[in-house]
Amino acid sequence: MSSLLNELDVLSAEALAEAETLADTEALEAFRLKYLGRKDGRLTKVLSALPTLSGDEKREVGKRANALKGAIESSLARRRQALDDARITSELLKSKIDLSLPGTPVMRGGLHPLTRVMEEITDVFVRLGFSVAEGPEVETDDNNFTSLNHPPDHPARDAHDTFYLKDHVDDKGRPLLLRTHTSPVQIRYMRSHTPPVYIVAPGRVFRHENVDATHSYVFHQVEGLAVDTDISVADLKGVLTLFAERLFGGQGTVVKTRFRPSFFPFVEPGLEMDISCTICGQKGCRVCKGTGWVEMLGSGLVHPNVLRAAGCDPEKYSGWAFGIGVERVAMFKYGVDDMRLFYENDLRFLGNFS
């Protein structure tokens, strides 16, 4: 037994010293096989003599052998880790990237303010039971003008107000155009649905405008339409007042509304709705131009000619409609005084809304 114990002591000294000199993964594997291999490992050969020993001698030699095996395996693991660390350090030193520098922050995205406002407007009416309707941005002259009670000589039809598409015509040979409002969705929806009709139609529209702080040739509208029996101006005023309160009110802010007579070809009577300036509390400011009121939307009872054009009997049904400019609401809601900021894609500006 003493010879086996001496051999284990010698084997321990040699193995642990050799482990510290291993230079690569191939050498690590060769070392493992040399000392711990199941067939020809030096420790395995020592243990093969255990059957010739007595019980107490087996326990003593076995205990020393297992301790040596654990020490060799620990030495292998430490050396492998040291080699991996050295390799990584070498690669980092060769790299042109300084990993000690702070990382580039990832900007958090968010909805565009116009998208956010359009969804907020739509959501108010959806909660009131309205459905969302959509229509194409390329429209016919009939849907965009004629069916909405625009006479043939109406100035809105002029080329300096409307974008007509070259070499694109409808089934009657009239040129197609980019819709100037979302009101054509009214016509399309009423022609395919029997009243009662309660819809909102959000979307993008186009007009031949000079771009400035309050005008753009591309902007967004949300159109609203209610057609049913026994609908009156009182219904219109009640719903739009509730809409203003839900969109601009809250947290102690009181929103008032007022309606003024106005003219739109597709409604009769026509009304414009103003809301009290929530920025100054009607004390007078730059936004409300000192009046305490802000113009918000146009509305009115649907003209009988529009109902007829859409296939609804004006003797049986009545309705109201409104159109609200999303950009106007966004400018008022967020205190932005230049519409162009919404389209310049300046992340410094858009980041304020994410």
pLDDT (tens digit per residue) in 4-26: 677 777 777 877 788 788 888 88
Q: Is the pTM of this model over 0.75?
A: no
Crossing angle (nearest 10°) for helices 2-19 and 55-94: 0
Which of 348, 333, 347, 277 lies closest to 114 in space, CA to CA? Answer: 333
* Predicted pLDDT at 155: 80
- State the DSSP string of 137-149: SEE-HHHHTGGGT
The confidence score (pLDDT) of residue 159 equals: 65
CB atoms within 10 A of CB 22: 20
204 with 137: CB under 8 angstroms?
A: yes
Phi, psi of 262 (to 5 degrees): -155, 175
Cβ burial 167-180 (10 Å sphere, 16+ → b, else e): eeeeeeeeebbbbb
Point out the residues of the chain with pLDDT beneath 50: none
| pLDDT for 50 | 67
Helix (H, G, I), strand (E, B) or coil at 132: strand
Structure token digits, residue 162: 């409307």
- 33 neighbors 40 (Cβ within 8 angstroms): yes
Q: What is the pLDDT of residue 1?
A: 53
Question: Residue for token digits 């990993």?
Answer: 99
Contacts of 257 (CB under 8 A, 6+ apart): 237, 240, 241, 244, 273, 274, 275, 276
The whole-number pLDDT of residue 327 equals 92
The alpha carbon torsion through 140, 143, 149, 155 (nearest 10 deg) reads: -30
Q: Provide the pLDDT for residue 69.
A: 79
Question: What's the pLDDT tens digit per position in 70-81?
Answer: 888 888 888 888
Q: Which of 167, 139, 158 is nearest to 209 (CA)?
A: 158
